[in-house]
Structure 1
Amino acid sequence: MAKSDEELIAGMKSGLLAKTGNTLEHWVQVVRASGLEKFGEQLAHLKSVHGIGHGHASFICQAASGRLEADPADLLEGQYKGKEALRPLHEAIAKYALSLGKDAVLDPGKTATSLRRNKKFANIVPASKTRIDLGLNLKGHPGTDRLLPEKPGSMCTHKVRLETVKDFDAEVKAWLKEAYGKA
């Protein structure tokens, strides 16, 4: 059974307090007082100066930016502003991903929608006005002319470029199902 967003946030807060001895609110103030505005700079600051692990540092930065309180529908709307023609493709991918199992979860962010199970298995990125890049975590897969390997260190190991709902075919669905199975 998948945890609710509230349970996940409570767990992260508890873990952060246990590891650092300080609350999320304390660390949000540290980030804001740093004067750093870019997520990556804030993340690096927390990790290098304060010795906070990547997961907790990312959580703190998201809280500092207000992302934890953001409405998922508003985040999704923002992703597709000026790219409205891609929404049917997004919806087709999301619907299929959720059909893979009761533990599949959509997590819209500012620029992409993560697909998670126990861990992230894919992400939907409206890369341009005419294309969605479907990122997939398929470690060990050699890739093909459609399933493009990503550079090491990327959030996903591969991506598929999709322009229409028709492009989201049986081959792409099989890769998405495989990624779900590995998560």
Structure 2
Amino acid sequence: MDQAAQTMIDNLEKNTGKSLDQWVVIVQKEGFEKHGEILKFLKTKHGFSYGFANLVAHKALKSDAGSVSETNELITKQYKGKENFLPIYEKLNSEIKAFGSDVEFAPKNSYVSVRRKKQFAMLIPATKTRYEIGLNLKDQPTQGILEIDTKTNGMCSHKIQLTSESEVTSEVIEWLKMGYENAG
């Protein structure tokens, strides 16, 4: 487990008086099956911030890289029925790894978080016909393929939409590299 995750877990108990394991039990007793249901419950009934609610939700649903025995299980799950997008993921993964040895890929249930010191990108097989790259590029105006992201609840500021591997151009890689450099 990385230091940031451990700090978050420690702060959860410090701020709420309950450990992560205790919160997971509370959430599981409610019988929630969806991430959004857990977020809403923790934020409205217990005053959680998005970050703490997201942490508990992932652990309760075992939907983060630290909760599964093999992170490839999460990748397989993400691309089930969307196998046409695996070449995009593999190409992006290879290009991003070349940015530096400090890049970390953290698969979740429906996307892969790409981090350096902080998250700078999300790789998302959004639908059967649309692949999205979420980027953290604060204060960057939109231009070309770069759009404002309105769907990831502030986890990313911008997005790029793709439909095929051929659209992973040098422009896409340059935007990813800018996100990486800003996260250092």
Q: TM-score, normalised by structure 2?
A: 0.86
The 3-state SS of whatever aligns with 2:133 is strand
Q: Which amino acid aligns with 1:144?
A: Q
What is the match of residue 53 of structure 1? Answer: 49
8-17 or 122-131: which moved more? 8-17
**Superposed, which structure 2 residues align to 1:1-12 within 5 Å?**
5=1, 7-12=3-8
Q: Identity of counterpart residues, as a percentage? A: 35
What is the match of residue 81 of structure 2? Answer: 82
Q: Which amino acid aligns with 1:174?
A: E
CA shift, 1:151, in A, is: 2.6
What is the match of residue 150 of structure 1? Answer: 149
Q: Which amino acid aligns with 1:31?
A: V
Q: Deviations over 1:74-106 (max 9, x none)?
A: 000111112222212111111111221222111
What is the match of residue 170 of structure 2? Answer: 170
Task: For 1:158 and 1:61, locate their aligned partners in 2 and report how far apart those are by CA, in whole Å.
Answer: 24
What is the match of residue 120 of structure 1? Answer: 119
CA separation of 1:37/1:83 partners in 2, compared to 1, >3 Å: closer, same or farther?
closer
Equivalent position to 1:63, from 59, 64, 74: 59
**Superposed, which structure 2 residues align to 1:34-45 within 5 Å?**
34-45=30-41
Is the CA contact 2:79–2:125 (under 8 Å) kept in the aligned structure 1?
yes
How many residue pairs were aligned?
Answer: 179
Task: For 1:10 and 1:123, locate their aligned partners in 2 and report how far apart those are by CA, in whole Å.
Answer: 21
CA shift, 1:9, in A, is: 4.4
Q: Which amino acid aligns with 2:111?
A: A
What is the match of residue 30 of structure 1? Answer: 26
Q: Deviations over 1:101-157 (max 9, x none)?
A: 222111111111111112111111112334321111111121124112223844322
Task: For 1:34 and 1:83, locate their aligned partners in 2 and report how far apart those are by CA, in whole Å.
Answer: 31
Q: Which amino acid aligns with 2:134?
A: G
Task: For 2:145 and 2:2, locate their aligned partners in 1 and report how far apart those are by CA, in whole Å.
Answer: 38
CA separation of 1:37/1:165 partners in 2, compared to 1, >3 Å: closer, same or farther?
closer
Matched, 1:98 2:94: no
Task: For 2:136 and 2:5, locate their aligned partners in 1 and report how far apart those are by CA, in whole Å.
Answer: 24
CA shift, 1:35, in A, is: 3.5
Task: For 1:148 and 1:104, locate their aligned partners in 2 and report how far apart those are by CA, in whole Å.
Answer: 24
What is the match of residue 17 of structure 2? Answer: 21
CA shift, 1:7, in A, is: 4.6
The 3-state SS of whatever aligns with 1:135 is strand
